[in-house]
């Protein structure tokens, strides 16, 4: 169970021979993720932690049945890697890479829509369905199999809140890092829809931050669609000044739009419990679930 | 990266979009010469990258070369919103019939670019969106087919123009879109785009913000990054060290790993009644070098009374962070009290290293935030 990735996910690692790609391939394999092949142009015939390396995604997919990909290649080549994965028919693409230009990201997301593919990221810690599949770089030990679907725009804050959920006994079904860039593949609305259909997920935690309007759109969706599962939210950046990027390329208040206040108000109006501090998320959901 | 108005104007000129005739001046004498060359009433516009420069007195007018010289002398060297004016853009003052707005920017929710036009130009577009949303025309742009001439005509029509004026505007909008894409602009804006008293269109103020992640495609601006106006010394240092730092007004210095966690740390400090002095994300890894650089930057702010280090070890190992803090202590010397919260991978080892060095470590972010605020209230003793 869980959403987007599970036991049936078979993935290739694009950029597998790089420092990051190789290091995290080992950790993903340790987690039990089915990594069936890797690619690095020019390195075909070698292997990384027992995983065979190919020059192209086309060759890798021909030799090994795969349905997903995780991309570690540098920003300059990351969009190209994503297009290559779409063309090979892969349907779940996680882009760990940071610093992809907006113009390239816009094209990647357009192609993903055409192909019916899901893009996690870019600039994401990845996605993990607890106990089944990890396509990402998050520390596995903070997660515990359970009932909360978690979607977040940041990395360490996700680990902070996931730790709280694990400690409280609620645990998680799937944890998704949407990514810290202005243009990312999944929105909170997309993940809410997916979690709605997932039997394992009993409640949803949304971890937002300043910039953009994914939180406002999620609140509107919850209010108008009559969402069936309890939702709690945390929004980082109440103290952020306008016009400054707070670490993430996408965490910026433009003029008066994208403020934490606007997002918190939208959530409250939609009946979503808003946590004042990260540790409140687990408490609010436990109350709602009567656990 | 924000371009100066004069840089943006030069780009608009290259794309054959009408702009007022103008010159850059760094001295009052040069301003006088520019006004003489223009031979008409001029606007003297401070070249600074802060918003709201007109309201803050950064744009003045002159009717003669000698008046231009006097006015320039007043503006040059003046501080506007904390930024010193070092150059002026001197341009012909345009007779305004109507002010329009046009921009190409990023629509994050729809994951595409969007053209935004309005018949209410000359003011902030958000103001228009809030007070008169019916005056805004939004056109989502297909990432493959792009913005076409007919999109321009449709927009011009909706702004109330027909005939030659409609065609003129459509052509300006298309050129504007082309330059926005060519320069990887996350925002390219004409505000106002003026309809002159003789029915022509002129881009009187222009703004371009280039996507930082695409700067490698625009090497002519890359060297500018480090001397970008409006940055403090600490912000420049942080940029050079690869740290994300934003200066704020309070007295609690903050260092953490991960943008979201650091933002949440700032919020927690405020929640307990404190005032954050900065945002500083050391990112993944947090090596001794990074920690030392981070502490250096935070402690160089004289307002800081106490420093809160909030590290959540994931892939980052707490023992490495602990060693980083000790190494940084040796190099920088702790001059202010510190509160350290350190949890996650190898936290026992990290805690042991710091405790043995006489540094107290907490494991709850909220407890640590409370304690930090207490120290800041008691004057940092």
The candidate with the shortest Cα–Cα distance to B261, out of A160, A255, A163, A19, is A160
Q: Is A234 on the interface with B (CB under 8 A)?
A: yes
Q: Is A263 on the interface with B (CB under 8 A)?
A: no
Residues of chain A neighbouring B345 (CB-CB closer than 8 A): 139, 141
Surface of A (108-127) touching B: CB under 8 A: 109-110
The minimal CB distance from A110 to the residues B143, B211, B271 is found for B143
**Cα B268 from chain centroid?**
25
* Mutation target vs A (from B126, B247, B263; most A CBs, 10 A cutoff): B263
- Condensed to tens digits (0 to 9), the pLDDT of residues B13-42 reads 999 999 999 999 999 999 999 999 999 999
The answer on pLDDT for B229 being more than 60 is no
If 0-12 CB within 10 Å is exposed, 13-18 middle and 19+ buried, where does residue B52 land? exposed
User: How many angstroms separate the CA of residue A63 from the nearest CA in chain B?
Assistant: 32
The model's pLDDT over B65-75, given as tens digits with 9 standing for 90+, comes to 999 999 999 99
Q: How near does any CA of chain A get to the CA of B160, in Å?
A: 27
Q: Which of B67, B69, B92, B189 is catalytic?
A: B189
Shortest distance between the Cα of A170 and any Cα of chain B, in A, equals 19
According to CATH, the topology of domain B21-92 is Dna Ligase; domain 1 (3.30.1490)
CATH of domain A138-289: 3.40.50.261
Kindly give the residue spans of alpha helices, DSSP state H, lying in chain A.
Answer: 19-31, 57-63, 75-87, 102-115, 156-168, 188-197, 214-225, 260-269, 280-289
Q: What is the mean pLDDT of residues B166-183?
A: 98
Residue of chain A minimizing CA distance to B2: A243
Which of residues 28 through 87 in chain A touch B, CB cutoff 8 A? Answer: 75-76
Q: Percentage of chain A with pLDDT > 70?
A: 100
Q: How confident is the model at residue B88 (pLDDT cuts 50, 70, 90)?
A: very high
Question: Least CA distance to A160: which residue of chain B?
Answer: B312
Best A239, A250, A277 member to test B by mutation, with max B CBs in 10 Å, is A239
Q: Which are the contacts of B220, defined by CB distance < 8 A and separation ≥ 6?
A: none
* pLDDT exceeds cutoff 90 at B81: no
pLDDT digits (tens, 9 = 90+) for A180-212: 999 999 999 999 999 999 999 999 999 999 999
**A215 vs B: CB within 8 A:** no
Q: Between vectors from CA B329 to CA B326 and to CA B331, what angle results, nearest 5°?
A: 115
Q: What pLDDT is attached to residue B286?
A: 64
**Residue in B6, B99, B101, B320 annotated catalytic:** B101
Measure Cα distances from B225 to A67, B71, B228, B235 in Å: 41, 30, 5, 12
Q: What homologous superfamily does CATH list for A10-120?
A: NAD(P)-binding Rossmann-like Domain (3.40.50.720)
Burial A89-115, CB ≥16 within 10 A → b, else e: ebbbbbbbbbbbbbbbbbbbbebbeeb
Q: How many CB pairs under 8 A join A and B?
A: 172
What is the average pLDDT score of chain B? 91
Q: What is the pLDDT of residues B271-323, one digit of tens each?
A: 999 999 999 998 876 677 788 889 889 988 899 999 999 998 776 778 888 88
CATH number of the domain at B96-223, out of 3.30.460.10, 3.30.930.10, 3.40.50.970, 3.30.470.20?
Answer: 3.30.470.20
ipTM, two decimals, is 0.93
Q: What is the reported pLDDT for A280?
A: 96
User: A71, A137 in Cβ contact below 8 A?
Assistant: no
CB atoms within 10 A of CB B189: 22
Please report which residue ranges of chain B form alpha helices under DSSP H: 5-14, 28-38, 65-75, 125-131, 149-158, 163-182, 219-222, 233-241, 259-271, 288-299, 318-332, 347-356, 365-377
Instruction: Please identify which residue in the block is written with the tokens 């190992």.
Output: B317
Q: Do A154 and B258 touch (CB under 8 A)?
A: yes
Tokens representing B184 are 């990887």
Asked if B314 lies within 8 A of A209 by C-beta distance, the reply is no
pLDDT at B239 over 90: no
Distance CA A2, CA A204 (A): 12
Q: Is A187 on the interface with B (CB under 8 A)?
A: yes
* Residue B2 bridge partners (DSSP): B209
Minimum Cα–Cα distance from B112: chain A residue? A106
Contact B359, B325 (CB under 8 A): yes
Q: Is A243 left (phi over 0), alpha (psi -120 to 50) or beta?
A: left
Q: How confident is the model at residue A84, as a pLDDT? A: 98
Please give the pLDDT value at position A244: 87
Which of helix, strand or coil describes residue B7?
helix
What pLDDT sits at residue A93? 98
Q: What is the structure's pLDDT at B233?
A: 77
Sorting pLDDT into bands at 50, 70 and 90, what band is B238? confident
Which of B116-125, B211-220, B255-264, B278-287 bottoms out in mean pLDDT, i.e. has the lowest?
B278-287
Residue B224 pLDDT > 80: no
Chain B positions touching A239 (Cβ under 8 A) are 248, 263, 266-267, 269-270, 276
Q: Check if A248 is active-site.
A: yes
Residues in A touching B317 (Cβ below 8 Å): none
Helix axes A102-115, A75-87, angle to 10 degrees: 10
In whole angstroms, how far apart are CA A219 and each of A216, A264, A280, B1? 5, 9, 19, 32
User: Which chain A residues are within 8 Å of B211, Cβ to Cβ?
Assistant: 101-103
Measured between CB atoms, which of B186, B281, B312 is closest to A159?
B312
The pLDDT tens digits of the residues spanning B335-381 come to: 788 899 998 878 889 899 999 988 889 989 999 999 999 999 987 55
Point out the least confidently predicted range of A41-50, B196-205, B228-237, B352-361.
B228-237
Q: Give the one of A154, A183, A256 whose C-beta lies nearest to B261's C-beta.
A: A154
Measured in degrees and rounded to the nearest 5, phi and psi for residue B134 equal -70, -15
Give contacts of A121 with chain B, Cβ < 8 Å: none
> Structural domain boundaries of chain A?
10-120, 138-289
Q: Which among A155, A212, A248 has CB closest to B108?
A: A212
Would the CATH topology of A10-120 be identical to that of A138-289? yes
Q: Which residues contact A105 (CB under 8 A, 6 or more apart)?
A: A79, A122, A181, A182, A183, A184, B111
Instruction: Report in angstroms the alpha-carbon separations of B355 from A109, B112, B326, B347, B350.
Output: 49, 51, 11, 12, 9
Q: What are the boundaries of each domain within chain B?
A: 21-92, 96-223, 233-377
pLDDT in tens, B35-62: 999 999 999 999 998 878 888 899 999 9
Superfamily of domain B233-377: Succinyl-CoA synthetase domains (3.40.50.261)
Name the stretches of chain A with pLDDT < 70. none
Cβ distance A156 to B126 less than 8 Å, yes or no, reads no
Contact B263 A99 (CB under 8 A): no
């Amino acid at each position: 169970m869980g959403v987007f990735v599970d036991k049936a996910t078979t993935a290739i690692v694009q950029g597998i021979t790089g420092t990051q790609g190789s290091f995290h391939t080992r950790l993903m394999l340790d987690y039990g993720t089915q990594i069936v092949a890797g690619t690095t142009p020019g390195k075909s015939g070698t292997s990384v932690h027992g995983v065979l390396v190919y020059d192209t995604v086309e060759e890798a997919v021909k030799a090994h049945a795969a349905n997903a990909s995780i991309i570690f290649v540098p920003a300059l080549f990351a969009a190209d890697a994503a297009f290559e994965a779409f063309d090979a028919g892969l349907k779940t693409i996680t882009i760990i890479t940071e610093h992809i230009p907006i113009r390239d990201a816009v094209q990647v997301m357009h192609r993903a829509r055409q192909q019916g593919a899901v893009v996690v990221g870019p600039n994401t810690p990845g996605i993990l369905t607890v106990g089944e599949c990890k396509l990402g770089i998050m520390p596995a030990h903070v997660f515990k199999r359970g009932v909360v679907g978690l979607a977040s725009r940041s990395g360490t804050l996700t680990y902070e809140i996931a730790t709280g959920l694990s400690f409280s006994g609620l645990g998680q079904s799937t944890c998704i890092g949407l990514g810290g860039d202005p243009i990312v593949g999944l929105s909170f609305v997309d993940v809410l829809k997916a979690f709605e259909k997932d039997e394992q997920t009993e409640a949803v935690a949304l971890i937002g931050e300043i910039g953009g309007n994914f939180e406002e759109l999620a609140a509107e969706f919850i209010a108008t669609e009559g969402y069936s599962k309890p939702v709690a939210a945390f929004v980082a950046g109440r103290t952020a000044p306008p016009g400054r990027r707070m670490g993430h390329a996408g965490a910026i208040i433009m003029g008066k739009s994208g403020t934490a206040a606007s997002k918190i108000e939208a959530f409250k109006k939609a009946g979503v419990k808003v946590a004042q501090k990260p540790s409140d998320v687990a408490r609010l959901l436990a109350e709602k679930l009567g656990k | 990266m924000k371009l100066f108005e004069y840089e943006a104007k030069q780009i608009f000129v290259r794309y054959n979009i009408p702009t007022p005739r103008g010159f850059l001046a760094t001295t009052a004498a040069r301003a006088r010469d520019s006004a003489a060359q223009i031979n008409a009433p001029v606007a003297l516009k401070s070249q600074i990258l802060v918003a709201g420069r007109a309201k803050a007195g950064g744009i003045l007018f002159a009717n003669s070369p000698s008046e231009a010289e006097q006015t320039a002398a007043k503006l040059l060297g003046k501080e506007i919103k904390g930024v010193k004016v070092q150059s002026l853009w001197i341009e012909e003052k345009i007779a305004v019939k109507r002010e329009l707005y046009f921009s190409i920017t990023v629509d994050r929710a729809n994951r595409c670019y969007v053209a935004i036009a309005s018949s209410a130009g000359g003011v902030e577009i958000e103001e228009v969106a809030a007070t008169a949303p019916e005056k805004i025309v939004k056109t989502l742009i297909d990432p493959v087919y792009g913005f076409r001439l007919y999109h321009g005509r449709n927009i011009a029509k909706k702004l109330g123009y027909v005939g030659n004026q409609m065609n003129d505007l459509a052509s300006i909008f298309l050129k504007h879109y082309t330059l926005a894409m060519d320069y990887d602009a996350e925002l390219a804006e004409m505000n106002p785009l003026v309809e002159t008293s003789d029915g022509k269109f002129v881009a009187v103020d222009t703004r371009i913000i280039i996507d930082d992640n695409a700067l490698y495609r625009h090497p002519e601006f890359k060297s500018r990054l480090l001397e970008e106006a409006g940055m403090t010394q600490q912000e420049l240092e942080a940029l050079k060290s690869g740290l994300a730092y934003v200066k704020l007004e309070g007295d609690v210095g903050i260092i953490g790993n991960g943008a979201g966690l650091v933002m949440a740390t700032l919020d927690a400090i405020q929640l307990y009644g404190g005032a954050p002095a900065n945002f500083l994300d050391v990112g993944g890894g947090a090596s001794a070098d990074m920690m030392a650089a981070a502490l250096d930057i935070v402690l160089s702010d004289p307002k800081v009374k106490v420093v809160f280090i909030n590290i959540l070890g994931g892939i980052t190992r707490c023992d490495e962070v602990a060693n980083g803090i000790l190494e940084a202590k040796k190099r920088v010397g702790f001059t202010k009290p510190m509160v350290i919260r350190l949890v996650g991978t190898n936290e026992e080892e990290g805690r042991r290293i710091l405790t043995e060095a006489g540094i107290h470590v907490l494991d709850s972010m909220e407890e640590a935030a409370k304690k930090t605020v207490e120290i800041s209230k008691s004057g940092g003793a």
